[in-house]
């Protein structure tokens, strides 16, 4: 527990230990998500970029549970089994499109951006012609601090709002069996949800599963390229794909932090916390806590058990965790038998981010079995 007052940010407690992150996340009444959901540079807070947004991550119980229930059944393992074949088909098509690529290419723009995008768009029911816009929304919303993505928000905002309005109007008039329809027609206690909550729901659904999973896939591939012994171990034991998927999430931990605000005076790890103070939960740090993980700084594809905090913990535990795990496992299952040779051909570039981070460009070269 460390009190931080960094330049450009409002002050907060940095929570970096596995046990403390779990303890705080398990007490949503004492440590609330509202009003400061995440650390954002003061300059961006002052621009009011997150004002007027009410998503699941800015809600607290009991309200949070009602809203979470609107989408939760879509992300249960049982429901997801019914789309496993279609995720595999999408993955295979992406590999096929790059199978005879002989030179350098960017794994992010040509592969890892598209897999999570196509998967979440198919769950939502987004049309193929809207995928490029959804991709732009996701990249920009989670890349606000990065000069490559952030400045595009001003130009994008009206198109984003127009898109959500079109979806809302269309699915309210002609509901189908997709998740967009479930959200557009959602009710809580028999009443339709408010317009701000509805648009916020569409926003979190189109963004939360994208950059996170993309960064896990990219960082996971980079870890395997840099550690040929771990790649060979997986190729010899492809059944480890599910276990390796969790190690990839622990290792890359794309969500850097979420915040909580103390609702009363309390204590964490012997440290008094005053009501109103903010606490920032650093998930990547908790996932490398040497009190919990042996050789915490080693990437081990067979690490099991793996109680990482990459998906958070407790009340706000990632809604899409099973979907993300499935996408990474299927990626590995399709990649391992195909890859003959793979190399890094340039310097990986990381996103400038304090919220969702990772590699935004990964130049590689590969030879695949066709
Ligand atoms: C590797 C990929 C992913 C990572 C690392 C990740 C990580 C996280 C984390 C750390 C949280 C906050 C947990 C907490 O505060 O305790 C979260 C929440 C959430 N995630 Fe994910 N996520 C991933 C993929 C997805 C996918 C595919 C979806 C699908 C739409 C998704 C939807 C959500 C939603 C809706 C929440 C808010 C849940 C709530 O507040 O109740 N995530 N995620």
Q: Please give the pLDDT value at position 225.
A: 98
Q: Is the CB of 317 under 6 A from ligand 1?
A: yes
What's the CA gap between 349 and 351, in Å, rounded? 7
Are the C-beta atoms of 354 and 256 separated by less than 8 Å?
yes
CB 107 within 8 A of CB 218: yes
pLDDT bucket at 142, cuts 50 / 70 / 90: confident
- The whole-angstrom separation of Cα 34 and Cα 77 is 29
Of 283, 243, 239, 277, nearest to 261 by C-alpha is 277
Q: Is the CB of 309 under 6 A from ligand 1?
A: no
Which residue has the least CA distance to atom 16 on ligand 1?
312
pLDDT tens digit string along 344-364? 999 999 999 899 999 999 999
Cis peptide before 305 (omega within 30 of 0): yes
208 three-state secondary structure: coil
The residues, any chain, with a CB within 8 Å of residue 350's CB and separated by 6 or more, are 357, 358, 359, 360
* Contact partners, residue 77, CB within 8 Å, separation at least 6: 322
**Which residue has a Cα nearest atom 11 of ligand 1?**
318
pLDDT band with cut points at 50, 70 and 90 for residue 280: very high
Q: What tens digit of pLDDT does each residue of 7-59 get?
A: 999 999 999 999 999 999 999 999 999 999 999 889 888 887 778 889 999 99
DSSP letter for each residue of 80-129: HHTTHHHHHHHHHHHHHHTTT--S-EEHIIIIITHHHHHHHHHHHT--GG
* Any atom of ligand 1 within 6 Å of the Cβ of 255: yes
| pLDDT of 370 higher than 80 | no
Q: Tokens standing for 130?
A: 């809207």
Do residues 330 and 86 lie in contact, with contact meaning Cβ atoms separated by under 8 Å? no
**Residue 101 tokens, joined:** 């690529």
| Residue 70 CB–ligand 1 contact under 6 Å | no
Torsion of CA 207, 128, 216, 50, to 10 degrees: -10
> What is the structure's pLDDT at 150?
76
Given ligand 1 and candidates 206, 223, 320, 356, which is best to mutate, with the most ligand atoms within 8 Å of its CB? Answer: 320
Which segment of 50-54, 92-96, 109-113, 295-299 scores lowest on mean pLDDT?
50-54
What is the structure's pLDDT at 340?
94
Q: What is the pLDDT of residue 262?
A: 98
Mutate to test the pocket of ligand 1, among 31, 208, 247, 354 (most ligand atoms within 8 A of CB): 208
DSSP string, 266-296: EEETTEEE-TT-EEEEEHHHHTT-TTTSTTT
The whole-number pLDDT of residue 283 equals: 98
Are 352 and 331 spatial neighbours (Cβ–Cβ below 8 Å)? Answer: no
Write phi, then psi, for 188 (nearest 5 degrees). -125, 125
- Nearest-CA residue for ligand 1 atom 15 is 316
Instruction: Give residue 331's pLDDT.
Output: 98
Query: In whole angstroms, what is the distance from residue 168 CA to residue 217 CA?
Result: 31
**Tens-digit pLDDT profile for residues 307-351:** 999 999 999 999 999 999 999 999 999 999 999 999 999 999 999
Locate the domains of the chain by residue range. 2-368
| pLDDT recorded at residue 146 | 81
Ligand 1 atom at shortest distance from the alpha carbon of 116: 27
Of 225, 229, 237, 261, give the one whose Cα is nearest residue 339: 225
The closest alpha carbon to 282, from 15, 27, 26, belongs to: 15
Q: Residue 23 has what pLDDT?
A: 98
Instruction: Summarize the confidence of residues 219-237 as an average pLDDT.
Output: 98
Which residues, including other chains, have CB under 8 Å from residue 173's CB and lie 6 or more apart? none
Indicate which atom in ligand 1 lies nearest the CA of residue 25. Answer: 16
Query: Can you tell me which residue has the tokens 């496992």?
Result: 329
Identify the pLDDT of residue 148.
85
Reported as a pLDDT band with limits 50, 70 and 90, residue 144 is confident
Q: CATH homologous superfamily for 2-368?
A: Cytochrome P450 (1.10.630.10)
pLDDT at 183: 98
* 107 band by pLDDT with thresholds 50, 70 and 90: very high
Ligand 1 centre to CA of 328 (Å) is: 15
Looking at every residue in the chain, the average pLDDT score rounds to 95
DSSP 5-31: --TTS--EEEE--HHHHHHHHT-TTTE
């Amino acid at each position: 527990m460390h009190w931080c007052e960094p330049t450009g940010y409002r002050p907060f407690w940095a929570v970096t230990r596995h046990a403390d992150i779990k303890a705080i996340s398990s007490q949503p009444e004492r440590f609330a998500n509202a009003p400061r959901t995440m650390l954002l540079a003061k300059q961006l807070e002052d621009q009011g970029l997150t004002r007027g947004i009410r998503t699941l991550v800015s809600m607290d119980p009991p309200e949070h549970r009602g809203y979470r229930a609107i989408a939760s059944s879509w992300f249960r393992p049982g429901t997801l089994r019914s789309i496993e074949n279609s995720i595999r088909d999408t993955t295979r098509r992406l590999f096929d499109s790059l199978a005879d690529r002989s030179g350098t290419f960017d794994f992010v723009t040509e592969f890892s951006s598209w897999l999570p995008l196509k998967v979440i768009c198919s769950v939502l029911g987004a049309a193929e012609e809207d995928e490029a816009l959804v991709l732009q929304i996701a990249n920009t919303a989670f890349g606000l601090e990065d000069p490559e993505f952030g400045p595009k928000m001003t130009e994008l905002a009206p198109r984003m709002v127009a898109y959500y309005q079109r979806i809302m109007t269309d699915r309210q008039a002609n509901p189908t069996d997709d998740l967009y329809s479930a959200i557009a027609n959602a009710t809580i206690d028999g009443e339709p949800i408010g317009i701000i909550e509805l648009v916020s729901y569409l926003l979190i659904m189109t963004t939360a599963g994208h950059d996170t999973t993309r960064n896990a896939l990219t960082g996971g591939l980079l870890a395997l390229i840099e550690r040929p012994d771990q790649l060979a171990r997986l190729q010899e034991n492809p059944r480890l794909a599910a276990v390796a998927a969790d190690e990839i999430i622990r290792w890359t931990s794309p969500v850097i932090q979420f915040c909580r605000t103390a609702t009363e005076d309390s204590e964490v790890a012997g440290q008094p916390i005053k009501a109103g103070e903010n606490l920032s939960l650093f998930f990547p740090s908790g996932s490398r806590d040497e009190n919990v993980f042996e050789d915490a700084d080693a990437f081990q594809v067979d690490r099991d058990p793996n109680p990482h905090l990459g998906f958070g913990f407790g009340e706000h535990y990632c809604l899409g965790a099973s979907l993300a795990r499935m996408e990474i496992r299927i990626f590995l299952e399709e990649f391992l038998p195909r890859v003959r040779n793979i190399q890094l051909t340039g310097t990986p570039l990381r996103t400038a981010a304090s919220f969702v981070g990772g590699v935004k460009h990964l130049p590689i070269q590969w030879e695949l079995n066709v």
